[in-house]
Amino acid sequence: MRLFVALEVPEPSRRDVRRRVEGLRDRLPRARWVDLDVLHLTLLFLGETAEADVPVLAAKLRAAFSRFSPLPLRLAGGGTFPPGRPARVAWVGVESPPELLTLQADVAQAAVEALGFEPEERAYHPHVTLARCADPWRREAIEKFTNAFTGPVGPPFVAHHGVLFESKLSPKGARYRQVEVFPLEEDYPEEEA
């Protein structure tokens, strides 16, 4: 199974991304655009994982997510990877509290403990991938893209759960299936006696 762990982006934010991309796509070099109906903020890409390992992984992920309160997030600003060079990936950024980075590190640690996963050495940069550029975009295309995604993108939202997704590749692009959902722990006031 080809797996990744992510937070979903709700429809109001996807709608604003869709509106901006529709006005932009034809003015940019060819790229493989993601399905804008299933945008997500990837916390960890696991790749091929044995189905037999999923229950242990899910238990570790459930414990990791349960230690966090729901996270206020907002899409904002666009950019490309690698920075300062011809673009291979175009993305929209994510404004988030510091707890998002801690959650991402805990998710990676859960994968290390469950699967012996080796996390990337580069720092985590919260973003939502919008396009992959087979022929790297040059400066003019990068500027068109980033200018279309300046400032906030859609309304703020709160992530209440994480998802373990399976990604199935096909000629029409990746298709995602939820394998497990992991609630972020709600802070409930104690009942008065």
The closest alpha carbon to 54, from 180, 186, 189, belongs to: 180
From 125, 127, 160, 161, active-site residue: 127
From 40, 125, 160, 161, active-site residue: 40
Active site residue 160: no
Positions marked catalytic: 40, 127
